[in-house]
Every structure is written in C-alpha cells, then in structure tokens.
C-alpha cells in the first residue's frame, strides 16, 4: 500500500547521522501522522496480497520453512537519496539495480538508465531509451535500425559493460567507457518475448559473455568479443532467471514451473531437477563457493541447494509479505540477501547455516538490490509514489565467525 503522507517542504536526503538521532531513514514524518509506524507496518502485513500463479502456494509452503534468529547486524544504514527515483516496469521482475563499486550504482528511473555516485551524490544519465536507440557500429546480428521507447525489464552491469533487456525481447549493450550503443538485437519476434534476466560473466578464454533468459523458453549466450550468439538452449517453459556457477560449468534455470533445473552450461542438458517449490520462480544465485546456490519463488520462500546432494534443499527460508524476487550473495560468500516484492530485504549469515539474519525494514516496492563487488555496500532501490529512493547500507566490520556460533 502506498504511503500517502504529504510533503510540505523540500524533500532532502537522509544521512546515517540523522537516522541515529531518530529520523526515519526514508524521511517519513510519522510525528505528523495519525498512525504510528508500528501500526502502519502491522496493517501492511495483514493486507498485502502476494501474487501467485498457483493458488495458495504461499500458505502451503509455511510449514516447511526453517526458523531463523532475527536481530543480526551485518549492514548498517548509511544514506537515503531521493535524487534518483528507482522505478519498475514489470511487477514480477526486480533486477533493476546494480552496483559496480561501493560508490557507484546503476538503476532504472522510468526510461533512463542512471549512474549514481554515493561519493559525490551526483547522478548522470547513461542511456535514454524513451526515444530511438541504435548501435553506432555494424556487427553481425546487430539491428542498425535499433529500437524506440524500450520498456526495460532487466539490466546488468559488470566492469564497463551495461546490458539492458526489454519487454519485446530487446537487448541493448553499451560499454560505459565508449560513446554510443555498441550492440542491439532482438532475441525473438514472439509476442510474449520479455527478456526476464541478464547475467554478465567472464568466460575461461577471457572474453566477456552475457546470458539472457526469455519468456520464449530460451536462454541465449552472447560473446561480446565478436558480438555473436554462441549458445541457445531451449526449455519447456518460460525462463525467468538463469545463474552460472563460478566455474562456468553449471547453470541454474528457474521459470514458469515449480520445478527448477540444474543443467550443463556447455550442452544445456539437464543434470538434475530441483523439487520443492510450489509456484513459479523468478530469482537464483550461486554462492561463490561453487557448491551451493539459492532459488527464489512466489511461494514466499528461498531454497538453498547443495550440488553434492540435490535430493532436497538444505534450507527453506521464508519472507514476511510475498514472493522472493531477487537473491544476491556477497563476493566472499559470507552473506546472502533475499528481497521480497516490497518492504523487506533479509540478509542471512551463511556461515551460521542460515540460522541468523538481519531484516531491513522500510516501505515501498523493491526494484532491485545489489552488493558492491568488495562487499562494503548494499544498495536497495525503492519505488513509491512519494518516497521512491535509493537506500545505501554499509558493511559492519566488527562481526566475526565466532558471532555466528553464539
């Protein structure tokens, strides 16, 4: 439910110093409202309607979830800026925020891809997709006529490469250290061809690749060294997310089926089916250890799996409101974050066996979240009519492995 408090003065950012003095991290003036924050939170918990493709999946999953201890403090609130408005185009796809350092984050704001610097508090438009976007170079398979008014469904940034996916199967690639668009293609001309997710990775040869997951039941792998489609795997249902293992040998595939798949990344052949979820999945991620991975589902759960025993998941973690639509591990593998559609991000201590968690509690739809590569920062995009913003959290370094045993 949207926050309807009126703003009588100019909206300003909120700092950690202000938060320590009791100011709401989103600047919500609870003292000028007839309702308390606690009461408003209780109302959202009672009234929020989780979207399900399979009826009652969220209720049915409740009795198999792992109890966890809340109250961990791993990331501390640092800053909230309303200078950038993080927005959403598709209610099920929430991968629209990406950090490339503890100071630099990229996000969607309506039809603009923005870069935000937490160091200078400046924003810069990287790409405007409201008008005509076309490549500046000719490559095989690149559509020189480009696209107009692209509705962005997903994005990914790694090093200097930005890849944007659209509602009509569009893929737009831009190197951030170069002028112009490098590559444009349409994965398919099917009517229902949304690009649901993109993942950029470095191949063993050193070439930069990216994978695109689509509603046309396909996963496509592009080599950005020569701008060529080099693999195209087809499945029996729309693929909402695919994640490549750290060694590049395995792929986790989830989509419009309660069953997930672990497949060979070279051939696309299924190695093992993943049974346990009760609805469609829209998120997946690998722990950097290469042995465990997680999947997020509309049944309100995140399941953690171990490739050494896939007969059942090793943990079933539950949110408060709804589907788990985004999952991220820190690069050191110590923490895993899972985001609900709104209001909550949960950060689990991996080394405690997912027994302890920190709960980030705010108000608004979540457009995406991203740890910085050095694990020092966590950014969360919040979409709300009045309080849309970008939240920044900083890692607390006083925490040790011994704390996870207490």
With a pLDDT cut of 70, the percent of the chain lying above it is 95
DSSP 8-class letter at 65: P
Q: Which pair of structure tokens corresponds to residue 105?
A: 């984050």
**308 touches 315 (CB < 8 A):** no
**pLDDT over 80 (residue 208):** yes
Q: For residue 402, is pLDDT > 50?
A: no
Segment 173-189 shows an average pLDDT of: 92
CA–CA distance, 251 with 270 (Å, rounded to integer): 9
Q: In this model, does residue 400 exceed pLDDT 80?
A: no
DSSP code per residue over 111-161: TEEEEEETTTTEEEEEEE-SSEE-BSS--TT--TT-EES--EEEEEEETTE
When the pLDDT of each residue in the chain is averaged and rounded to a whole number, the result is 93
pLDDT, position 105: 97
Q: What is the pLDDT of residue 279?
A: 98
pLDDT greater than 60 at residue 389: yes
User: What's residue 310's pLDDT?
Assistant: 96
Residue 4: pLDDT band by 50, 70, 90 thresholds?
low
Alpha helix ranges (H) inside 236-343: none
Query: What's the rounded mean pLDDT across residues 60-77?
Result: 94
Short-list 239, 191, 231, CA closest to 215: 239
pLDDT tens per residue, range 125-136: 999 999 999 999
pTM exceeds 0.85, yes or no: yes
Length of the chain: 406
Three-state secondary-structure class, residue 56: coil
Residues 313-332 have a mean pLDDT of: 97
- Is pLDDT of 405 > 60? no
Give percent of the chain with pLDDT exceeding 90. 87
| Confidence (pLDDT) at 397 | 82
pLDDT at 190: 76
Work out the pLDDT band at 7, boundaries 50, 70, 90. Answer: very low
pLDDT-derived band at 66 (thresholds 50, 70, 90) equals: confident
Round to whole Å and give the CA distance between 284 and 237.
16
What structural domains and CATH numbers belong to the chain?
Answer: 14-405 (2.130.10.10)
pLDDT digits (tens, 9 = 90+) for 235-260: 999 999 999 999 999 999 999 999 99
DSSP string, 205-221: TS-EEEEEEETTSEEEE
pLDDT value at residue 162 = 98
Looking at per-residue pLDDT, the higher value among 366 and 8 belongs to 366
Which DSSP helix (H) or strand (E) runs through 318? strand 315-318
């Amino acid at each position: 439910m949207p926050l309807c408090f009126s703003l009588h003065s100019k909206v300003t950012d909120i700092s950690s110093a202000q938060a320590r003095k009791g100011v709401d991290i989103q600047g919500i003036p609870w003292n000028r409202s007839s309702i308390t924050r606690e009461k408003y939170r209780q109302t959202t918990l009672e009234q929020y309607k989780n979207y399900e493709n399979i009826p009652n999946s969220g209720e049915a999953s409740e009795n198999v979830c792992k109890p966890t201890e809340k109250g961990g403090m791993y990331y501390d609130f640092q800053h909230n800026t309303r200078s950038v408005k993080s927005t959403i185009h598709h209610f099920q796809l929430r991968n629209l925020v990406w950090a490339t350092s503890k100071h630099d984050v990229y996000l969607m704001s309506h039809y603009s891809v923005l870069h935000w610097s937490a160091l200078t508090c400046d924003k810069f438009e990287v790409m405007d997709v409201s008008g005509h976007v076309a490549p500046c170079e000719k490559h095989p398979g690149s559509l020189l006529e480009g696209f107009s008014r692209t509705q962005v469904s997903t994005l990914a940034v790694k090093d200097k490469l930005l890849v944007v996916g659209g509602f009509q199967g569009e893929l737009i690639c831009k190197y951030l250290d170069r002028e112009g668009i490098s590559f444009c293609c349409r994965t398919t001309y099917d009517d229902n061809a949304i690009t649901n997710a993109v993942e950029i990775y470095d191949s063993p040869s050193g070439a930069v690749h990216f994978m695109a997951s689509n509603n046309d039941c396909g996963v496509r792998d592009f080599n950005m060294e020569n701008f060529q489609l080099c693999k195209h795997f087809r499945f029996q249902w729309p693929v909402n997310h695919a994640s490549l293992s750290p060694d590049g040998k395995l792929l986790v595939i989830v989509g419009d089926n309660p069953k997930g798949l672990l497949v060979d990344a070279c051939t696309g052949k299924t190695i093992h089916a993943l049974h346990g979820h009760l609805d469609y999945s829209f998120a997946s991620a690998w722990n950097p250890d290469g042995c465990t991975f997680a999947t997020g589902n509309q049944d309100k759960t995140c399941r953690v799996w171990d490739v050494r025993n896939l007969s059942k998941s090793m943990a079933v973690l539950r949110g408060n409101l709804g589907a788990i639509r985004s999952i991220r591990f820190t690069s050191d593998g110590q923490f895993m974050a899972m985001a609900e559609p709104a209001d909550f991000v949960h950060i689990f201590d991996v080394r405690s066996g997912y027994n302890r968690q920190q709960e980030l509690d705010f108000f608004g739809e979540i457009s995406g979240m991203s740890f910085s590569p050095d694990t020092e920062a966590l950014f969360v995009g919040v979409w709300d009519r009045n309080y849309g913003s970008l939240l920044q959290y900083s890692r607390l370094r006083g925490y040790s492995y011994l704390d996870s045993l207490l």
